[in-house]
């Protein structure tokens, strides 16, 4: 595989994927570079949405595609925001800041702040690939009571890592990628690619 299209327009995800895939010598393209619009994400599960995104981009580009669907799942909220993480506070426009504010508001007075980031990656060699490569990763932590740190994106300023005594947004990029949900899922995916 010499070229791969990332099925996302999220600048934070694109930076992470380009950084993590750089050592493989694969030319990483974005769907925006190819003029491909975002796929619909109507499903209730991460895996279904990731498959839909990968098929959409692979079909329109004629190239292998890598899609991720990920989000933060909060125990006390029954797994919400979950697949709605990017749109938790609405779509007009999508905003990390508004999503973080809504999450803090929804957790007011809640003592159980356990949460985890979840990521599923789907790699298709072509749009009708009957055996997509699927990899998952999970990253456990807690939701803090206020934001801290200026790294990362999404809910990172609220994602507290008790074992490190830091927010995800306070981690250096290399350290975050080594332990994050997306980093873990990509390691699994790369292992699967090696045995093909």
Reported as a single tens digit per residue, the pLDDT across 21-65 is: 777 778 888 899 899 998 888 899 999 999 999 999 999 999 999
Residue 118 is classified by DSSP as E
* Other CB atoms within 10 A of residue 148 CB: 15
Position 6 pLDDT exceeds 90: yes
| Residue the block writes with tokens 């004629």 | 62
Domain boundaries, position 178: 3-194
Does 92 have pLDDT greater than 90?
A: no
Under 8 Å between Cβ of 17 and 27: no
Burial of residue 87 (number of CB atoms within 10 Å: 0-12, 13-18, 19+): middle
**What pLDDT sits at residue 196?**
52
Neighbours of 33 (CB within 10 A): 11
The pTM of the full predicted model, rounded to 2 decimals, is 0.89
Give the list of residues 6+ apart from residue 106 with CB closer than 8 angstroms, or none.
Answer: 77, 80
Report the distance separating Cα 20 and Cα 177, nearest Å.
Answer: 8
Number of domains comprising the chain:
1
Peptide bond into 8 cis (omega under 30): no
CATH number of 86's domain: 3.90.950.10
pLDDT in tens, 72-85: 999 999 999 999 99
Active-site amino acid positions: 69
Q: What is the pLDDT of residue 16?
A: 76
Dist. CA 132–CA 47, nearest whole Å: 11
Q: How many distinct helices (H) and strands (E) make up the chain?
A: 5, 7
């Amino acid at each position: 595989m010499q070229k791969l299209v990332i099925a996302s327009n999220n600048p934070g995800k694109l930076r992470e994927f380009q950084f993590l895939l750089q050592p493989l010598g694969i030319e990483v393209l974005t769907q925006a570079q190819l003029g491909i619009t975002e796929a619909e994400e109507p499903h209730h599960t991460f895996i279904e949405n990731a498959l839909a995104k990968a098929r959409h981009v692979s079909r329109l580009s004629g190239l292998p595609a890598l899609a991720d669907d990920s989000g933060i799942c909060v125990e006390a909220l029954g797994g919400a925001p979950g697949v709605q993480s990017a749109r938790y506070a609405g779509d007009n426009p999508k905003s990390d800041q508004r999503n973080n504010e809504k999450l803090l508001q929804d957790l007011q007075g809640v003592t159980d702040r356990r949460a985890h980031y979840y990521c599923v990656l789907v790699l298709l060699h072509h749009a009708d690939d009957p055996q997509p490569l699927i990899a998952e990763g999970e990253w456990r932590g807690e939701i803090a009571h206020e934001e801290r740190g200026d790294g990362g994106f999404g809910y990172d300023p609220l994602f507290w890592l008790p074992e490190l005594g830091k927010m995800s947004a306070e981690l250096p990029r290399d350290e975050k990628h080594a332990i994050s949900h997306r980093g873990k899922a990509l390691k699994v995916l790369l292992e699967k690619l090696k045995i093909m």
